[in-house]
Amino acid sequence: MKIALAQLNYHIGNFESNSSKIKETIIKAKDSGAELVVFAELSVCGYPPRDFLEFDDFISQCNTVVNDIASVSKDIAVIIGSPTINPDVKGKDLFNSAVFINDGKIVSTHHKSLLPNYDVFDEYRYFEPSRKSNIINYNGLNIALTICEDLWNIGEELLYPYSPMDDLINQHPDIIINIAASPFNYDQRNIRKDVLSKNAHKYYIPLLYVNHVGAQTELIFDGGSLAIDSKGNIVEELNYFDEDFIIIDTNSLKNNTSTKEDKPIEDIALIHDALVLGIKDYFNKLGFKRAILGLSGGIDSAVTLVLAAEALGSENVKALLLPSRFSSQHSIDDAIALAENINVPYETIHLDDAYKSFGSLLNPFFKDMPFDVTEENLQARIRAVLLMAFTNKFGYVLLNTSNKSEAAVGYGTLYGDMCGGLSVLGDLYKTQVYELANFINKEMEIIPVNSITKPPSAELRPDQKDSDSLPDYDILDKILYNYIEKRQGPKELVAMGFDEAIVKKTLRLVNMNEYKRHQTPPILRVSPKAFGMGRRMPIVGKYLS
């Protein structure tokens, strides 16, 4: 049987756009001779719909789209994802379902059994888990239809006491189909391929996997849909970070001998592509075109600018240079050199007049108190006021340029450099930002090498260096990674060889700065544990702080 895999970029709640994309693709599949076309999990409404699911009107619109799609699906079968209503008075109101449509009619609806409820996932907030699974028989093919997490309860540690495939395999399926919404992080591509291959291998039948592609605020869906033969070999791997469509002949998966060469992709290349897509979709889906950012001559704003120009076009990005009395000439030169390298228009505003004016308003109260973090923050906040004035007057969106190391230890000014509609680098440690800068410069010097090699500085007081306040990033980032991504506690970190005093100071900074991170923009997620919806910490908590 010929089955089409449709890897599309949906928009949460945009029923009109999702529905017309799906319908166009059904026609394309039919024209290509497919007997069945498969779309991703919750494709009619986009993923994750979050608390929109609590509105009857939203569910009713999903239902309308499903019926509408069914009515146009003549002479072809379709699998789409949609929330459906749980008719039982017991349990949550909804199921996360895969709807099987054939020749204009809804034939059967299959509910997700395993509901991810960790990290960025909240599915048990909305959905009742299914406790029974039935295969589909379509034109002689027995299909075990599963939804994303349904196939992930495999291996040593099992998160769920029940696996739907244990039921389904007894009904003698010929193939597994899995519709998914699996967001990117730099580990995910390999883990996902491994988990899905293991399933095909374990049950000894081919597997077709259809993922989302496209960013929904912080979550970037990377696509990479798969066709896997019954030995667990990957036969087809769809595009990453782009829509894709393919026809698979299931016969070719049964006694397959050819496998697709597994081309390893560098993490940093994946991260680069993810961030560009993340910026692009944030603007597209919100209906904005143009970005602005403060360009300091440092590495973070340099990398953000390059990514923004790639995503939106140089002509749609504006750089503001906002030097204060503490900015060095070489920083200004580096900023200008970069903007000119990539043809991004820029303007310069010296903020000293505003700084002086605040000084005269505040001096009657501050009197002879010495220069401290107040005056540092003041400069950062004046920059934010200027940038936001540009966004209001001209309709830009401000891009935030903070990195994960700074966000972790609170090395940033709330309502100053922590402003913005979207944080581009907020899930990359400083050392990863350097890696990304070098990746960008691989072919030619786009980012002035001076921005990469000079010691990092906020330039908010004379001769300031990040290393005055923070451990070296080489050390700091390793401690942060092991604490944040790997959930290692103070004892484990010291046992790994990190200095006890530095560990203690670092963890304390991370935990006591939760209040700052609470107010930051959404951060494009590229790691397995990003600040934001996937990491939920008490603000007034007192633990290691």
Q: Which residues in 343-402 contact a copy of itself (CB under 8 A)? A: 347, 349, 351, 353-354, 356-358, 360-362, 365-366, 369, 372-374, 377-378, 381-382, 384-386, 388-390, 392-393
Cα 220 → chain centroid: 3
The CA-atom distances, in angstroms, between 87 and each of 84, 90, 92, 115 are 9, 9, 10, 19
Q: How far is the CB of 36 from a copy of itself (least distance, A)?
A: 29
What mask, x for binding a copy of itself by CB under 8 A, covers residues 104 to 143? -------------xx---x-xx------------------
Verify whether residue 21 is a known catalytic residue: no
Q: How far is the CB of 307 from a copy of itself (least distance, A)?
A: 18
Using the rule CB under 8 A, give the single segment among 55-63, 195-203, 223-231, 447-455 that binds a copy of itself: 55-63
Residues within window 153-212 making contact with a copy of itself, judged by CB under 8 A: 156-161
Residues within window 491-530 making contact with a copy of itself, judged by CB under 8 A: 491-492, 515, 518-522
Which amino acid would we find at residue 33? G
Residues within window 397-436 making contact with a copy of itself, judged by CB under 8 A: 414-415, 419, 421
Is residue 152 near a copy of itself by the rule CB under 8 A? Answer: no
111: β partners:
97
Q: Are 6 and 210 in contact (CB under 8 A)?
A: yes
Verify whether residue 62 is a known catalytic residue: no
Token duo for residue 426: 């907020």
Is residue 442 near a copy of itself by the rule CB under 8 A? Answer: no
| Sign of the alpha-carbon dihedral angle for 249, 253, 257, 262 | positive
Using the rule CB under 8 A, give the single segment among 21-29, 47-55, 64-72, 256-264 that binds a copy of itself: 47-55
Q: Tell me which of 35, 62, 123, 148 is the catalytic residue.
A: 148
Parallel, antiparallel, or unpaired: how do β-strands 207-210 and 226-228 relate?
antiparallel
Comparing CB distances to a copy of itself, the nearer of 452 and 480 is 480
Token duo for residue 468: 């005055």
As a whole number of angstroms, the distance between CA 487 and CA 343 comes to: 43
Size of the site for a copy of itself (CB under 8 A): 94
214: β partners:
221
As a whole number of angstroms, the distance between CA 540 and CA 88 comes to: 40
Q: How far is the CB of 242 from a copy of itself (least distance, A)?
A: 18
As a whole number of angstroms, the distance between CA 379 and CA 319 comes to: 18
Phi/psi for 412 (5° steps) reads: -175, 160
Q: How far is the CB of 97 from a copy of itself (least distance, A)?
A: 18
Token duo for residue 403: 């990195």
Comparing CB distances to a copy of itself, the nearer of 204 and 371 is 371
Comparing CB distances to a copy of itself, the nearer of 27 and 286 is 286
Q: Are 281 and 215 in contact (CB under 8 A)?
A: yes
Q: Are 282 and 381 in contact (CB under 8 A)?
A: no
Q: Is 273 helix (H, G, I), strand (E, B) or coil?
A: helix
Comparing CB distances to a copy of itself, the nearer of 79 and 215 is 215
Phi/psi for 83 (5° steps) reads: -70, 140
Verify whether residue 112 is a known catalytic residue: yes
Residues within window 287-316 making contact with a copy of itself, judged by CB under 8 A: none
Residues within window 251-290 making contact with a copy of itself, judged by CB under 8 A: 281-282, 285-286
Comparing CB distances to a copy of itself, the nearer of 72 and 388 is 388
As a whole number of angstroms, the distance between CA 489 and CA 494 comes to: 9
Q: Tell me which of 112, 280, 516, 529 is the catalytic residue.
A: 112
Comparing CB distances to a copy of itself, the nearer of 157 and 443 is 157
Instruction: Name, in order, each residue with C-beta under 8 angstroms of 47's C-beta and a sequence gap of 6 or more.
Output: 10, 12, 40, 41, 181, 212, 216, 221
Comparing CB distances to a copy of itself, the nearer of 4 and 213 is 213
Phi/psi for 496 (5° steps) reads: -80, -10
As a whole number of angstroms, the distance between CA 190 and CA 264 comes to: 9
Residues within window 65-94 making contact with a copy of itself, judged by CB under 8 A: 89-92
Q: How far is the CB of 267 from a copy of itself (least distance, A)?
A: 24
Q: How far is the CB of 309 from a copy of itself (least distance, A)?
A: 21
Task: Candidates 36, 46, 189, 192: give the one binding a copy of itself (CB under 8 A).
Answer: 46
Question: Distance from first CA to last CA of the chain, Å, rounded?
Answer: 60
Is residue 9 near a copy of itself by the rule CB under 8 A? Answer: no
Residues marked active site are found at 41, 112, 148
